[in-house]
Structure 1
Amino acid sequence: MRRKSLTHLGETEMEVLHHVWDLGEATVADVRERILEDRDVAYTTIMTVMKKLAEKGYLDYHKEGRSYVYQPAQEPDAVQHSLLQRLMEKVFQGSPSALVQTLVQREELSEEERAEIRGLIDVLEEEEDDSNDVDDNS
């Protein structure tokens, strides 16, 4: 029996998607060239992965001469949010605080990363305070 992926995107699909996001638009050869810096991969493998990503709605493409040029169909943050939502629901029973708590307690966070997380929370609280002030004044 095949195990179902937590995110519905495989590791190679995520890797390819990151390369297309970085490049803005790319051919199969462009993506393969980048992956070859780390490991050997067949052209046909990358071609198949990019076609699947297009079928799943993550990439769009157009034809230039004999090549297909792929570009993101969705913004990276939208895809990441969707994948994180799915992970949160499956692993943390839909609890954002359980996800963050596990991340913060289990990861070796640098002082800079901890400060960045605190800053993000501060911004959220400021935005919440600002929206409450607007509501109070109406």
Structure 2
Amino acid sequence: MKTLTTAEEDIMQHLWVLKEANVAQIIEQMPEPKPAYNTVSTIIRILENKEFVDYRKEGRGHIYFPKVSKSAYSKATANKLASNYFKGSYKSMVSFFMQQEDLSVKDLEEILNEINKKKS
């Protein structure tokens, strides 16, 4: 899966929530200061070229929708992170976040609960 820039990922985050939208609707959901219409439109075209977004014509405009689900992108991104920085080991990745104190014992307990649910 292709990598997204921060700006592209930001647009995708809004589009995943909206499910489908025109450029103006995407901008409406963005925080201040809002980007220019042309900026968002250009990023949408880049996302089309990367095959993350598709559109349908509606009147004189376009309605855009994600071709890649948020969960598929999240999984690919997590796999890439584990592969590039932790030799493919999720154990090493979790250990790293523990050492950085980014994970609490409560967080780990919740992760273990999720793992146990998957096993059941």
Q: What TM-score do you get using the length of structure 1 for normalisation?
A: 0.76
RMSD, matched Cα? 1.9
Amino acid corresponding to residue 78 of structure 1 in structure 2: A
Distance 2:13 2:38 in 1: 18
Whether 1:75 and 2:73 are equivalent positions in the alignment is no
Q: What TM-score do you get using the length of structure 2 for normalisation?
A: 0.86
Distance 2:3 2:29 in 1: 23
Aligned-residue offset at 1:105: 3.3
Matches for 1:27-46 after TM superposition, within 5 Å = 27-35=22-30, 37-46=31-40
Figure out how many residues of one structure are paired with residues of the other and give that number: 118
Matches for 1:117-136 after TM superposition, within 5 Å = 117-124=111-118, 126-127=119-120
Matches for 1:98-137 after TM superposition, within 5 Å = 98-106=92-100, 107-109=102-104, 111=106, 113-124=107-118, 126-127=119-120
Distance 2:11 2:105 in 1: 28
**Number of the residue aligned with 1:131:** none
Aligned-residue offset at 1:94: 1.7
Change (3 A) 1:119 1:45: same
Distance 2:86 2:103 in 1: 20
Aligned-residue offset at 1:115: 3.2
Whether 1:87 and 2:96 are equivalent positions in the alignment is no
Unmatched 5+ stretches in structure 2: none
Q: Give the 3-state SS of the residue equivalent to 1:20 in structure 2.
A: helix
* 1:63-101 Cα deviation digits (max 9, x unpaired): 101111111102211111112212221122222211122
Distance 1:44 1:27 in 2: 13
Q: Give the structure with higher Rg (CA).
A: 1
